[in-house]
Amino acid sequence: MKKTNQELLNCYFQGRASEEEVAELEKRMLVDSELRELYLQEAILETNLKSIALRADDLTTKPNAKPERTSSKILPFFGAAAAVIALISMIGFNHYSGKSVGTILSSELAGWQSDQPTIEGGEFGPGTFMLQKGVATLGFHSGAEMVLEGPAHIEVLSEMQLVFHYGDASFNVPESAVGFQVETSYGNIVDHGTRFSLSFSQNEQDARLSVGEGEVAIHHSNGKVKHLYTDEKVRIDEKQFYPDDDQAAEGGVFVREPLFTRGTNGKETSIVYNNQRKKRLSPDFLMVKNAAPGDVNRRALFSFDTSDIDLGSVTVARLVLNAVPTGLGMVTNMPKISEFALFGLQDDECEQWPISGLRWENAPKVEESKRLASFPLQRAEQRSVVTLDTPELLAFLKADQSGEVGFLIDCETPGSSLVHGFASSQHREAAGPVLELVMKK
């Protein structure tokens, strides 16, 4: 069967293309400008921008370096892609054409959302920064330094001023930067030469400030001013200041309601439309896919033994799933957001599916199941925690009479080659499906 352009590209970039397939790809690219453009986009995605920037000299001094499994005809396209990446890295990411107010001093597994340069060594100007994960150190030209932990959201106004929306940060302000200001929704923090830390969660209703050395002045939005000195701490909310008794500066422990949790105990599987289970499925994942023509579409099934639980006493029910990448297919040809649906299986033979060898035609059907919840997943974030706690889920559990509750996950957004995944109980890094129940006291 003749492979599509996308299938040839997938094989090529995954190192699985035969010599004949590489030759066929070369032939098509010579006459297809859209395919050349797609190749260029995927070459850019396959290359680590940071490492290319750091190896910019190598790109100019080693023009004959060849990627694996690449023939002479296809090499110019790869070279063009690498050159574009290098140019973006050296100009678009390391150089800021506006007014520079600082430099990214370090970037430790940092994931940014910003229109500013965000790689280590890049200069930045006034603007908005959202650090999704990791740790970064920003050095301001005034001499002030800020170590920021994600998730965090700040707005840099100048080399002496920023707005702090949320996140955890530590500041080191030398004499050259005395007067450095940090604005918050509760007031302004003016530094008088010190080291201080600020913690402001997205979900909490207050901020925590502690002074490691020196002095800061806090100008509350209510008009009051409070000075803090070495080793002093305070909590701040929209009304006033509060003493912070957390001497260890660890923050508070979130105490949640007592939970009863239950895993699948291995009662989980995926199904594929063409029933090529050995070729298309992995026990590490609960796989889901929706794409035309549908031969390799997938759905996920799992269940929980509830025979020892008084479901009538359940007041809150949550289903927790860990979305994880399967490594199958490509993200770039998918919609930005895919919608998924959770279905509950009926209390009959539909729940009695086998763990291994289940064929698509014998598996529980969507149209015979009860819709309990829906949820979106972004193509740019394949690792995430999904928590479902709808009234329909609770009602489904409380109505169960069989001592086992079964579920099916289906993707409702048509996509392309990507295979979505959720961790199974056999996944090495993430936990499989977990049912969390809160019982009547």
**pLDDT tens-digit series, residues 125-149:** 999 999 988 899 999 999 999 999 9
pTM of the model: 0.56
Neighbours of 86 (CB within 10 A): 20
Parallel/antiparallel/unpaired status of strands 161-173 and 181-184: parallel
21 pLDDT band, cuts 50/70/90, is confident
- State the residue for tokens 């030398």: 174
Q: How far apart are CA 185 and CA 207, in angstroms?
A: 10
Q: Tokens for 53?
A: 């920037």
Lowest mean pLDDT among 4-8, 316-320, 353-357: 4-8
Q: Model confidence over 390-416: pLDDT tens digits?
A: 999 999 999 998 999 999 999 999 999
- State the residue for tokens 């796989």: 287
Pair 404, 304: CB distance under 8 Å: yes
Q: Dihedral, CA atoms, 96, 102, 107, 111, nearest 10 degrees? A: -60
- State the residue for tokens 């289903």: 319
Residue 143's DSSP bridge partners are none
The CATH code for residues 102-243 is 2.60.120.1440
Instruction: Evaluate if residue 22 carries a pLDDT over 60.
Output: yes
Instruction: Evaluate if residue 83 carries a pLDDT over 50.
Output: no
Average pLDDT over residues 230-235: 90
Higher-scoring residue by pLDDT: 77, 294: 294
69 pLDDT band, cuts 50/70/90, is very low
Q: What is the pLDDT of residue 48?
A: 40
Instruction: Evaluate if residue 73 carries a pLDDT over 80.
Output: no
Kindly give, in sequence order, each residue whose CB lies less than 8 Å from that of residue 110, ignoring residues fewer than 6 positions away.
118, 131, 133, 134, 135, 136, 150
Q: What percent of the chain has pLDDT over 70?
A: 83
Higher-scoring residue by pLDDT: 119, 53: 119
Higher-scoring residue by pLDDT: 30, 210: 210
Parallel/antiparallel/unpaired status of strands 384-388 and 314-323: antiparallel
Instruction: Evaluate if residue 72 carries a pLDDT over 70.
Output: no
Task: Please provide the distance, in angstroms rounded to a whole number, between the alpha carbons at the two ends of the chain.
Answer: 62
Q: What is the pLDDT of residue 55?
A: 40
281 pLDDT band, cuts 50/70/90, is very high
204 pLDDT band, cuts 50/70/90, is low
250 pLDDT band, cuts 50/70/90, is low
Q: What is the pLDDT of residue 255?
A: 53
260-439 has the same fold as 102-243: yes
Kindly give, in sequence order, each residue whose CB lies less than 8 Å from that of residue 72, ignoring residues fewer than 6 positions away.
none
Q: Model confidence over 415-437: pLDDT tens digits?
A: 999 999 999 999 999 999 999 99
Instruction: Evaluate if residue 181 carries a pLDDT over 80.
Output: yes
Say which CATH topology domain 260-439 has: Jelly Rolls (2.60.120)
- State the residue for tokens 């009926």: 346
Q: What is the pLDDT of residue 87?
A: 41
Pair 270, 286: CB distance under 8 Å: yes
Residue 87 carries which side chain, given as an amino acid letter? L
Kindly give, in sequence order, each residue whose CB lies less than 8 Å from that of residue 93, ignoring residues fewer than 6 positions away.
49, 53, 117, 118, 119, 122
Instruction: Evaluate if residue 339 carries a pLDDT over 60.
Output: yes
Residue 106 carries which side chain, given as an amino acid letter? S
Burial class of residue 406 (count of CB atoms within 10 Å of its CB; 0-12, 13-18, 19+): buried
Mean pLDDT of the chain: 84
Which of 431, 430, 338 minimizes the C-alpha distance to 380?
338
Average pLDDT over residues 101-112: 89
Q: Enumerate the domain spans of the chain.
A: 5-93, 102-243, 260-439
Q: What is the pLDDT of residue 132?
A: 86
380 pLDDT band, cuts 50/70/90, is confident
Which of 300, 248, 333 minimizes the C-alpha distance to 427?
300
Q: What is the pLDDT of residue 63?
A: 43
Average pLDDT over residues 289-300: 94
Which of 149, 161, 168 minimizes the C-alpha distance to 191?
161
Neighbours of 354 (CB within 10 A): 10
Pair 236, 218: CB distance under 8 Å: yes
- State the residue for tokens 């070369």: 26
Asked if residue 151 has a cis previous peptide bond (ω within 30° of 0), the answer is yes
DSSP string, 322-387: EE---S-S-STTS-SEEEEEEEEPPSSGGG---SSS--GGGSPPGGGSEEEEEEEEETT---EEEE
Higher-scoring residue by pLDDT: 166, 201: 166
